[in-house]
Copies of this chain bind each other. A is one copy, B any other.
Amino acid sequence: MADSVVLDTVDLQLLGLLQNDARTTYRDLAAQVGVAPSTCLDRVTRLRRSGVILGHRLQLDPAKLGRGLQALLLVQVRPHRRELVGPFVERIRALSEALTVFHLTGPDDYLVHVAVADMADLQRLVLDEFTARREVARVETRLIFQQWECGPLLPPSPSAQSE
């Protein structure tokens, strides 16, 4: 189920194009890939059903929404036990400031990517939602100067694997 899927050249071209603009029409996709629009629909539907395509997400500008400051919070949760970390993650995910939560190996158990209005807002968030919680042993705050999304995600070069 979590195994990789066999993708041919057409699938890869479609994914590449759709990663640039997920709203490209099947008609345009067809023209660029060299197959019929109905074939594109078939392929994309299959990619969707096989779980390669998880969804179409809107990319927003946090600054335009009044969240001009972003930061990464490195968090130690002690003790690091299921009974504590489950509710911790759910609580953090529910914060309107949280964008992504990572559960990591290494000295910090979680990394939380947040978008806030300003420094005062960040301070409030850290003090009220993180260090105020008993299971949070330590929070390290790193501000984000700038961030870049990288090129289209593609399979490793030695090419595709088993279904």
Contact = CB atoms under 8 A, between A and B. Distances in A.
Interface in A59-92: 59-68, 72, 89, 92
B98 A150 contact: yes
What is the copy number of this chain in the assembly?
A: 2
Q: Classify the interface of chain A: helix, strand, loop or mixed.
A: mixed
A52 B61 contact: yes
Interface string A113-139: 001110001000000000000000000
B21 A55 contact: yes
27 contacts: A22-B22, A22-B23, A22-B58, A52-B65, A55-B58, A56-B57, A57-B58, A66-B160, A66-B161, A72-B111, A89-B148, A93-B148, A93-B150, A93-B151, A95-B150, A96-B151, A96-B157, A99-B150, A100-B148, A100-B149, A100-B150, A101-B148, A101-B150, A102-B146, A104-B145, A105-B143, A108-B142
